[in-house]
Structure 1
Amino acid sequence: MDLHELRWSGSEKKIARQAFEAAIEAALAGIVTKFKAKAAAVVTVSDVWDIENYLRRLRREADELFDYRYSRLCSVFARLICLGHMDEGQLAGLSDDKREIILGLRDWMRER
């Protein structure tokens, strides 16, 4: 099935949004924790610039990862599961075909 042709019902959109927001919160909490540890270890100005580069990289990665276009959600959810930011249980209520696509993509990503 073409991911661009998937149709999302109103209830699926609500479930997807809740799962997406929870994943963002989890990912950002991890970033904040890592940032605090890095900031606490700063000794030189070079360390500060290293943190700046680290944060820029994370921002780019987050902007790419957290893409809430419905045509991209299945692959986004699969990647979020692989990264540990989302649990498969959060997908309960999505149609069987969407869950199968997401879990199939997750398996494929894990094999790579």
Structure 2
Amino acid sequence: MDTMVDSWTDREQVIARAALERARTRAVDVLIARLRTSIEALASADEVWQLHDFLSIERHTMEGRFDFRLGGILFVLAGLVKDELLAMEELEGLEADKLAKVKAMSRF
């Protein structure tokens, strides 16, 4: 068993949840900005339905991406760092091994 995954203090869970929520808020802000541009360019019913399909996919993706489960949270946090929705500094307070793992995984 990987003790980094199995062993999360209450404080670390609070830090990870808060970081995940900040990243989620940023992702929503990016989506809204993208939608503002897309909506202005709508010119047909087909484009409206394409936008609907896009939003359905985005919702599904975001709901999965921001689901807090300790078993995979290091991978989630690393992906958010890689996508620049989260900074390593926002994870300060996590165990050094967890921070190192997130930093290493965010490079790929």
TM over 0.5: yes
- Inter-CA distance 32–92: structure 2 relative to 1 (3 Å threshold): same
For 1:19 and 1:25, the matched residues in 2 are separated by: 10
The match for 1:81 is 81
Deviations 1:70-90 (A, max 9, x none): 111100000001111111110
The match for 2:67 is 67
Report the 3-state secondary structure (helix = DSSP H, G, I; strand = E; otherwise coil) of the residue aligned with 2:106.
helix
- Tell me how far 1:94 sits from its aligned partner: 0.3
The percentage of aligned residue pairs carrying the same residue is 25
With normalisation by structure 1, the TM-score equals 0.88
Q: Does 1:56 align with 2:56?
A: yes
Contact 1:78 1:102 in 2 (8 A): yes
- Tell me how far 1:2 sits from its aligned partner: 2.7
5+ long unaligned stretches in structure 1 = none
Query: What letter matches 1:29 in structure 2?
Result: D
For 2:49 and 2:6, the matched residues in 1 are separated by: 44
Coordinate RMSD, CA, aligned: 1.6
For 1:105 and 1:5, the matched residues in 2 are separated by: 14
Report the 3-state secondary structure (helix = DSSP H, G, I; strand = E; otherwise coil) of the residue aligned with 2:71.
coil
Q: Does 1:91 align with 2:64?
A: no
With normalisation by structure 2, the TM-score equals 0.91
5+ long unaligned stretches in structure 2 = none
The match for 2:29 is 29
Q: Which stretch of structure 1 is more off in the superposition, 56-65 or 33-42?
A: 56-65
